Amino acid sequence: MSTIIIIVLVVVILILFGIYSWFYLFNIYETRILVNPESLNVNFDSTIEINVIPLNSFGRRAVLRRISARFELIEGDSLVMITKRISDQIILQSLSQVGKVEILVTPEVGLFPSIIEIEIVEES
């Protein structure tokens, strides 16, 4: 009788741990858009990387989850060239002109899209 109670308790604990893990570690609650660096230099080899990161309920990267996003150049598409585009990342390279670039980032899970403004400035 006591082995049946132990087995039932272990199964219940495993089920509760699984539910906790799904809702708090694996489930995506929000997305964060990281831009690295903050601005582009006017020289041709200057690049900027924009990443979309899924966050769990603790505000950390969701475990074993990836997210896709749509990146759309709204303004300044003649100022930059897209060198790499994957589901959650885009890398832009400067085309040696000063100006402002606006990118609309729409994550697959999220309520509203975000507009990212990137300044292309003279090298200091």
* pLDDT tens by residue, 47-101: 999 999 999 999 999 988 889 999 999 998 899 999 999 999 999 999 888 999 9
Q: Please state whether beta strands 69-75 and 30-36 pair in parallel, antiparallel, or not at all (unpaired).
A: unpaired
* E strand map for the chain: 30-36, 40-41, 47-55, 69-75, 80-86, 89-94, 99-107, 114-121
- Report the share of the chain in percent with pLDDT over 90: 69
Q: Which fold has domain 2-121?
A: Immunoglobulin-like (2.60.40)
Residue 27 has pLDDT above 80, yes or no: yes
Tokens of 98: 């000063």
- What values do phi and psi take at 100, rounded to 5? -125, 135
pTM for the whole thing? 0.82
- Report the share of the chain in percent with pLDDT over 70: 98
Binning pLDDT at 50, 70 and 90, where does residue 17 land?
very high
pLDDT at residue 14, rounded to an integer: 97
> Average per-residue pLDDT in the chain?
91
Q: Where are the alpha helices (H) located in the chain, listed in sequence order?
A: 2-21
pLDDT at residue 124, rounded to an integer: 63
Domain boundaries, the chain: 2-121
Residue of 24, 19, 33, 44 lying closest to 94 (CA atoms): 44
Residue of 89, 93, 92 lying closest to 45 (CA atoms): 93
pLDDT at residue 39, rounded to an integer: 85
